[in-house]
Structure 1
């Protein structure tokens, strides 16, 4: 047994050495023919095992042999075909066939029958189409048919999304009036997921299914054929708050990237939103999907799902990863020491001499390494610890590349950036050298455009932040990481596993590579440890010590920023758990011997806070302290000029003044600390944004204004900062505040005997999130198109005649001829994508 282990390690080393940059310092030993035969026999046996570890090793052996032998042996390819079939890894088998043009004719008949049998075992049928699934996918698909509640954990590249698409088809075909809500963790994912669902529905002639990406209502009559909402947790809360009796009952909930429940304020909001949904619709079928967690059944506990539930964890992936450690060599600046991490063991890959200095600027080092490892045209993701870092590394890589010739698609995309964002937007210069960057606060159409260029191999390098951890589908052959962070903290093991799972593209590679630079200097050795991580909810983490963070909040002994946001969200949830439940069991669940005394202090503080507002108001606005909501009501009760605080149409004279009056209420009641200059900034931006002013115009004005006062400030910094204000303060914080304000105002008017419907309270929270108060643009964005495309369509004369509702707009857009419309090609491409025509920019422009 030790002998075979040694041979396997030799195979791992040899196959990885072939992918290292530079020149080897020492001789590297290739595998001998007898060793390869020994490995083939061992892999063939392991592939028949029921143990996950054996199956993973069988895949590792056969794919590595293929890579070192370049598939030049029909016997080897036949063995690989059989092993892949035994493993149920049909994507890997398809890659094998396509890469080596292999037909399998020389496989003995009895083995062909075995392969065919495995195909049949793992096949599902939609109409007359036979679809082969991996073992995990088949188990997942079968469980979705059988279970009312399901929680699954699987590697990033396991093919969860494909199965979810098949299940949606089945649900919507078999039952009328299905209302399915698909929760995604960030706005960055809404377009990707909604487009994927729309493509699946279109493939199976289900074009009449309504898809919504905004929390706008739909009648039960219109949703009879089925409706799918793709929403963030914030948008889900808005939907649930506005849900009227005539709206459809939510029948299914899909929580993608469910492990995000462990992360800060948004994790607490996610938990609160799901709680609220299950309270309103207790019969809802629910799925939790997470990457590689040890305790997928945990979700059933925190949501009190006790009946008809199933959970399981899958550790086998159809694509595997090499964790490569790259370290300095003392006294040799142009030499790198490489190790392969395998089952916790560091296997030496030797030292390599490279053409660049592995010292100095980290951005330059990452840029040089990225260029070295991609010499065969392979795709590279460079992980960055923030937007500024992403832009910096992208710039360094672009300056390293000398012979890149931009395609027509790149030129058209650059033209869009110059006209619609800003002529000095740093992405322009990077794209001219075939490099992109990607982070959450970029405009959605720009982000998705970069993703498309990368997937189409128009660009080979992309520098990304932690948006990759939140489900963005952007795999690559290589990922480069150095001392990674998630937000302000060192990256956790679970986040590292999620990120590293993006290395290796399904149907394109058998293995992906994660290059860990100088791992000994990392703040957290997240590259090593268990493959499965246990999670707990963010609220549970806050309550580990009994709730000191909440006590600090209530005693005003807490700073500003991230901590206070998380504390307020936690306090709001605990307040409701204490005051609106028949018993305090959910709070008592946090009690331990160690925190018992402190928990009593937290409970005492919460019990003494009495709010007179109805529970519905508190439940609707879980992200705001209940006592702060009470302050808003008290303010309205005492003000002598109520009319100055009634929001009116942004197009009406005096609207901006009244909006600013309400912002003053937020400053006082919500303890929103704003300087006068910053208040002026956000009120101007907010009002211009809801008026539908183009983003490029807003950015241009901002760059000009700041440069007038700080001539040396880089436009990249000005643009990035402005987009951050727009994303966090306008489209998150003010959306939350205006939504709560309207709820409290509506209650106050009712108490005064005034029907709120007679006043027509303007939904500024909707206007601010989507960036328009014009009905046509809002309806277009509710279908899933970007603000850019919606505004251009709204402004093109007769492009879309006036329609009554969202679905009529969609029906008109489905048959629209975009070729002669005067709008950017990127917007045309987005519309064509919605029509089911995935074309390149150059085609969209023709």
Structure 2
């Protein structure tokens, strides 16, 4: 769940959450955590999110040295880094390289002189064995459409995953594939899916039409219910093709008969993919209980700059924090110096590492944290340099140390600037304008002020234009406005700027998805949490504790996309924002508890409610009916 409730009446509780939510939980949870299960454990290597995970695991191990850990990672090595983090000597590893299904890696080559022919070869480790030629009525000479053409030729009868280098590329490839397929007019499930997309994303979103031909596209910043619905329709063989980005490389157990890949790169700049990630994606071909064999088609593999699928490559588990310290030691030391934080805050991995060091110094356990993180470091003098620089940095910060332990992913020097601004405004008697209010009502000016202060003092960069746009988007999002409404407003703004040029709806939808996920649900959740923690502290030290009670927890509403109690309760039950927003408008109780919401869901007459099928299916999948 996104917002786990700590219930003291329960003898035991199980929390299923992200590392960001675990971080918040640990700040408020006083009991010991006994068992920790980490799926996709290689994500400890993932930049700032990896550092958050390490920080959480370290806190749990300090709180309960006897805690048990289970780490799950596909084809990974390097578990000793995890052992260091949780303070044990070794981790018992159970590993198998045996696959319960046969996976055929097939190289596809096209001779421009014979454009209707595909040359097929089997890749067995680095050995290439010729299979033969396939002749088609279709031509394959055009490199821009070759991936779609090959997928149509070889994958149209069974579920096929097709790799797209990014969201826009996935859309383009999906459109090319769909153009070669008939309309499935009599499929009621696909009609319902199309209707759902039009109603809950946008009526002109191309995906709504593509699914009617059995084709979908999938990328990480889509709303969760949309992603899950696409995955479900693919698993049920309603969608024959799903074009996906690297988001599907891990986490989602989505088997396919065929996987099509035409490049070992990602994004517009052709950034090289981690070979282990590519192997993980190729592993989607064939799954026990789904298909006894699977085909991985490697298009133009001979022309790839690297040959990552010649031999199996495992994920290398490496602490992101440890990697940054080892590779960017001098830069980390530099970023611990207050004088190097005068420009616009970019908050990189190096800044996050510096912030984590300062937070541990503020907590008083920096030395032990470094000893645990670098148990095998050959040059211990480096740790002494880090300690000296960190404590010097801490002493330069005029801010209560307890605050620095809460929000280390936010620039501590920016936090100091904002805290000092709060102190000044409180002394000037301007407390009310600092306090974020509930998003309902006339609060636009209030939130322009909140976001402007965050941008100006924490980020060292503020433009009224962006703060105004951010406020409008944030309020619509927190109020539970539907995506079609938010997207339509964005499109209207684009038309205002250029009334003669037609708006690309797919691009507008992507931009809204990006803004929601990158800014509203991530960046400004972290910044917003720092804002309210700093404001609460500033009010308390100025004998205004009663005013601190008025602070609205807007970062939670930003993360969830709802601000009503009913909406938050439905999300706590594990439902998507789309379902929660729909249900909060029909439950005759604006202040339900978890138990009363469950009871209402289970005792309803769903024929009379006329719920959209997709929302009904989510309730069914979550066991809430």
Alignment equivalent of 1:416, drawn from 196, 199, 205: 196
Does the C-alpha gap of structure 1 residues 403 and 426 become closer, same or farther in structure 2, counting only changes over 3 Å? closer
State the match for 1:748 in structure 2.
Answer: 538
State the match for 1:650 in structure 2.
Answer: 439
* 1:271-312 CA distance string (max 9 Å, x none): 2222233334444322111000123343112321348x5222
Superposition deviation, residue 548 in structure 1: 4.2
Residue 286 of structure 2 is aligned to residue 497 of structure 1: no
Superposition deviation, residue 408 in structure 1: 0.7
Superposition deviation, residue 776 in structure 1: 0.7
Alignment equivalent of 1:251, drawn from 19, 25, 34: 34
CA RMSD of the aligned region, Å? 2.8
Contact 2:116 2:140 in 1 (8 A): yes
Whole-angstrom distance in 2 between the partners of 1:559 and 1:479: 46
State the match for 1:397 in structure 2.
Answer: 177
State the match for 1:345 in structure 2.
Answer: 127
State the match for 1:664 in structure 2.
Answer: 452
State the match for 2:218 in structure 1.
Answer: 438
Contact 1:217 1:239 in 2 (8 A): no
Superposition deviation, residue 477 in structure 1: 0.7
Whole-angstrom distance in 2 between the partners of 1:672 and 1:795: 40
Whole-angstrom distance in 2 between the partners of 1:790 and 1:557: 41
Whole-angstrom distance in 1 between the partners of 2:373 and 2:82: 17
- Segment of structure 1 superposing worse, 415-424 or 703-712: 703-712
Whole-angstrom distance in 1 between the partners of 2:113 and 2:386: 57
Whole-angstrom distance in 1 between the partners of 2:432 and 2:440: 17
Contact 2:162 2:261 in 1 (8 A): yes
State the match for 1:844 in structure 2.
Answer: none
**Residue ranges of structure 2 left out of the alignment (5+ in a row):** none
Does the C-alpha gap of structure 1 residues 700 and 582 become closer, same or farther in structure 2, counting only changes over 3 Å? closer
Whole-angstrom distance in 2 between the partners of 1:682 and 1:804: 31
Does the C-alpha gap of structure 1 residues 700 and 631 become closer, same or farther in structure 2, counting only changes over 3 Å? same
Whole-angstrom distance in 2 between the partners of 1:814 and 1:281: 38
Matches of residues 242-281 of structure 1 in structure 2 within 5 Å? 242-243=28-29, 245=30, 249-281=32-64
Matches of residues 316-465 of structure 1 in structure 2 within 5 Å? 316-329=98-111, 331-362=113-144, 364-375=145-156, 377-402=157-182, 404-465=184-245
State the match for 2:15 in structure 1.
Answer: 229
Whole-angstrom distance in 1 between the partners of 2:18 and 2:239: 29
Whole-angstrom distance in 2 between the partners of 1:530 and 1:559: 45
Alignment equivalent of 1:690, drawn from 458, 478, 492: 478
Helix, strand or coil for the counterpart of 2:566?
helix
Contact 2:173 2:243 in 1 (8 A): yes
Residue 254 of structure 2 is aligned to residue 471 of structure 1: no
Alignment equivalent of 2:393, drawn from 606, 609, 615: 609
Alignment equivalent of 1:240, drawn from 12, 23, 26: 26
Whole-angstrom distance in 2 between the partners of 1:742 and 1:626: 15
Alignment equivalent of 2:410, drawn from 624, 633, 647: 624
Residue 95 of structure 2 is aligned to residue 313 of structure 1: yes
Matches of residues 818-833 of structure 1 in structure 2 within 5 Å? 818-833=606-621
Helix, strand or coil for the counterpart of 2:161?
strand
State the match for 2:419 in structure 1.
Answer: 633
Matches of residues 135-214 of structure 1 in structure 2 within 5 Å? 213-214=1-2
Does the C-alpha gap of structure 1 residues 260 and 359 become closer, same or farther in structure 2, counting only changes over 3 Å? farther
Whole-angstrom distance in 2 between the partners of 1:347 and 1:672: 59
State the match for 2:598 in structure 1.
Answer: 810
State the match for 1:511 in structure 2.
Answer: 293
State the match for 1:788 in structure 2.
Answer: 578
Superposition deviation, residue 395 in structure 1: 0.7
Whole-angstrom distance in 2 between the partners of 1:559 and 1:522: 41
Whole-angstrom distance in 1 between the partners of 2:555 and 2:35: 26
* 1:129-185 CA distance string (max 9 Å, x none): xxxxxxxxxxxxxxxxxxxxxxxxxxxxxxxxxxxxxxxxxxxxxxxxxxxxxxxxx
Superposition deviation, residue 792 in structure 1: 1.5
**Residue ranges of structure 1 left out of the alignment (5+ in a row):** 1-212, 838-846
Whole-angstrom distance in 2 between the partners of 1:643 and 1:522: 60
Whole-angstrom distance in 2 between the partners of 1:822 and 1:543: 56
Contact 2:160 2:258 in 1 (8 A): yes
State the match for 1:573 in structure 2.
Answer: 356
Contact 1:546 1:596 in 2 (8 A): no
State the match for 2:74 in structure 1.
Answer: 291
Whole-angstrom distance in 2 between the partners of 1:311 and 1:800: 52
Does the C-alpha gap of structure 1 residues 810 and 668 become closer, same or farther in structure 2, counting only changes over 3 Å? same
| Larger relative contact order (CA 8 Å, sep ≥ 6) | 2
Whole-angstrom distance in 1 between the partners of 2:183 and 2:582: 36
* 1:529-573 CA distance string (max 9 Å, x none): 344343212222222334244356567599989x84322222212
Whole-angstrom distance in 1 between the partners of 2:202 and 2:137: 36
Does the C-alpha gap of structure 1 residues 546 and 758 become closer, same or farther in structure 2, counting only changes over 3 Å? closer
Whole-angstrom distance in 2 between the partners of 1:760 and 1:287: 41
* 1:636-688 CA distance string (max 9 Å, x none): 112222221111222244x3322221212211222264543332222101011
Superposition deviation, residue 818 in structure 1: 1.9
Does the C-alpha gap of structure 1 residues 696 and 351 become closer, same or farther in structure 2, counting only changes over 3 Å? same
Does the C-alpha gap of structure 1 residues 628 and 219 become closer, same or farther in structure 2, counting only changes over 3 Å? same
Superposition deviation, residue 744 in structure 1: 1.6
Helix, strand or coil for the counterpart of 1:432?
helix
Whole-angstrom distance in 1 between the partners of 2:104 and 2:344: 41
Contact 2:104 2:293 in 1 (8 A): yes
Helix, strand or coil for the counterpart of 1:313?
coil
Helix, strand or coil for the counterpart of 1:704?
helix
State the match for 2:558 in structure 1.
Answer: 768
Contact 2:584 2:590 in 1 (8 A): no
Structure label with greater radius of gyration = 1
Superposition deviation, residue 730 in structure 1: 0.5
Does the C-alpha gap of structure 1 residues 523 and 591 become closer, same or farther in structure 2, counting only changes over 3 Å? farther
- Segment of structure 1 superposing worse, 730-739 or 580-589: 580-589
Does the C-alpha gap of structure 1 residues 284 and 820 become closer, same or farther in structure 2, counting only changes over 3 Å? farther
Helix, strand or coil for the counterpart of 2:115?
strand
State the match for 1:678 in structure 2.
Answer: 466
| TM-score w.r.t. length of structure 2 | 0.90
Contact 2:140 2:146 in 1 (8 A): yes
Does the C-alpha gap of structure 1 residues 649 and 532 become closer, same or farther in structure 2, counting only changes over 3 Å? closer
Alignment equivalent of 1:481, drawn from 261, 282, 286: 261
Helix, strand or coil for the counterpart of 1:524?
coil
